[in-house]
Structure 1
Amino acid sequence: MFIFVAMTDNQEIVSLTFFEYPKWNRWWAFNQMQLAMAPLQQTSGLKFYKLMGTGGGFGFSLRPDLKTYALLLVWKSGAFAKNYTESEIYQRFNQQCKSNFTYWMHCIQAHGSWNGVQPFTVKEVKAEGPVMVITRARVKFHKILRFLSFVPKSSRSAEAADGLLYTKGIGEWPAIEQATFSYWQSQQKMEAFAYQSDHREIIQKVKKEGWYKEELFARFIPASLPESDTDR
């Protein structure tokens, strides 16, 4: 059973939208990695934002998915987030894309940093249904080849994971600044994958050999967005 936690107007809420573009608009979408910075900075109620490219394979992938881009937004409160689809930044992308889908989330665990800051406010809520996970890392330059050598094994391991509903590699720079979003049936199934042999082996090598300059791990539960003003 999928359990969604309703957000009140004064609670932080996180949105992750995947926009898919037709061939004739993919160059436009790529350029937005820079051109959309100013509109994002002017969007009311944003605490943190990242516009990222995505990987073309299963989960993390070195092959780019040139048709899909991800927009991660951390809203100061539901009051700001509930009008997201009416905002200039959403309309900017929605008018050019072929389709899009937004995951609304509430952070229940986080450690580490993203560009020197912790973007998510943790709310002590127990995960009783599906969970989402974002893992992000900045790879040390001299460790890139070592990191890349384990990518295929990691992807194969995730592809066979029980309870994995969806996963997508997201990131700011190929190979150097990478993240993965995953959506699981339950916290128990996510943890079963995290502690199984192949994945655990990679994590142990990461820590022992110091691959990352910076890393972040965050867990979320699905959140239902408060009604927008237009819905009332």
Structure 2
Amino acid sequence: MNSKEEIVSITFYEYPKRNRWWAFNQMQLAIEPLKKAKGVKFFKLMGTGGGFGFSLKPDLKTYALLMVWNSLEFAKNFTDSDAYLRFNQQCRSNFTYWMQCIQSHGTWHGQHPFSVNEQKTDGPIMVITRARLRWNKILRFLSQVPESSRAAAGAEGLIYTKGIGEWPAIEQATFSYWQSQKHMETFAYQSGHREIIRKVKLEKWYKEELFARFVPINLDKQGADSPSR
């Protein structure tokens, strides 16, 4: 890949019980330090849901840091950055998924966070979906969460999924990792999940939404070390 192409990372940090209050406070306190990270054009620090995939129950030990890097040179120095070290010193473990966007539509707080490098793939694919709910649709949305989680739990080809978000119930997102685009599309368009999407569109649940697809990349092969778990 071209060293000047945009790289996206999402890191999941797991904290021991003694540091969870610190981690929660970083949702506000870390904003300014993250803004100073070199080569980052967009970032979001988010809480996560417990259980399988999206869940109404928060996972108080795990937080997600999504970062969009201007180039490979900045991305491969991630483990030396203040943004990484600040959390790594307090967490029990962490793991980063590296990826490049191949499709994106919609906005995140009015921004288009991902630059698209259009390409087709027969291999693994990652997906981020994000929505800001209308206040009068929150209860309707929450009523569908258990069904959505059950559908994801039985999805063939799903490697990993985690509910992520900036605000409980109001601003929700999911990250999922699939064996192939075919597996992902089978779940999205040919299962119970399709009915939920139909309700979303028909009843206009969302004030803002974004859907993006990515291909995983291996920074080891690009001359950089991946963070250890």
| TM-score, normalised via structure 1 length | 0.94
Structure 1 letter corresponding to 2:201: K
Alignment of 1:36-51 (within 5 A): 36-51=30-45
Return the offset for 1:184.
0.4
Alignment of 1:87-166 (within 5 A): 87-166=81-160
Structure 2 letter corresponding to 1:36: A
Superposition RMSD in Å = 1.0
Structure 1 letter corresponding to 2:139: L
Distance of 1:197 and 1:8 partners within structure 2: 38
Tell me the equivalent position of 1:227.
223
Secondary structure, counterpart of 1:171 in structure 2:
strand
Tell me, yes or no, if structure 1 residue 23 matches structure 2 residue 17: yes
1:53 corresponds, among 47, 51, 59, to: 47
Return the offset for 1:227.
1.8
Unmatched segments (≥5 aa) in structure 1? 1-6
Q: Quick one: percent identity of the two aligned structures?
A: 72
Tell me the equivalent position of 1:67.
61
Structure 2 letter corresponding to 1:181: F
Distance of 1:228 and 1:188 partners within structure 2: 30
Tell me the equivalent position of 1:204.
198
Distance of 2:24 and 2:192 partners within structure 1: 34
Distance of 1:179 and 1:194 partners within structure 2: 15
Distance of 1:112 and 1:206 partners within structure 2: 15
Secondary structure, counterpart of 2:142 in structure 1:
helix
Distance of 2:83 and 2:114 partners within structure 1: 21
Asked whether the equivalents of residues 124 and 179 of structure 2 are also in contact (C-alpha less than 8 Å), the reply is yes
Return the offset for 1:197.
3.5
- Per-residue CA deviations over 1:152-205 (Å, capped at 9, x if unaligned) read 001000100000010000000000000000000000011011112311110011
State the aligned residue count: 223
Return the offset for 1:125.
1.5
Distance of 1:114 and 1:82 partners within structure 2: 25
Unmatched segments (≥5 aa) in structure 2? none
Structure 1 letter corresponding to 2:75: A
Distance of 2:34 and 2:134 partners within structure 1: 28
Return the offset for 1:124.
1.3
Distance of 2:224 and 2:188 partners within structure 1: 37
Tell me the equivalent position of 1:192.
186
Distance of 1:221 and 1:187 partners within structure 2: 10
Distance of 1:181 and 1:131 partners within structure 2: 11
| TM-score, normalised via structure 2 length | 0.95
Secondary structure, counterpart of 1:146 in structure 2:
helix
Distance of 1:183 and 1:228 partners within structure 2: 22
Tell me the equivalent position of 1:4.
none
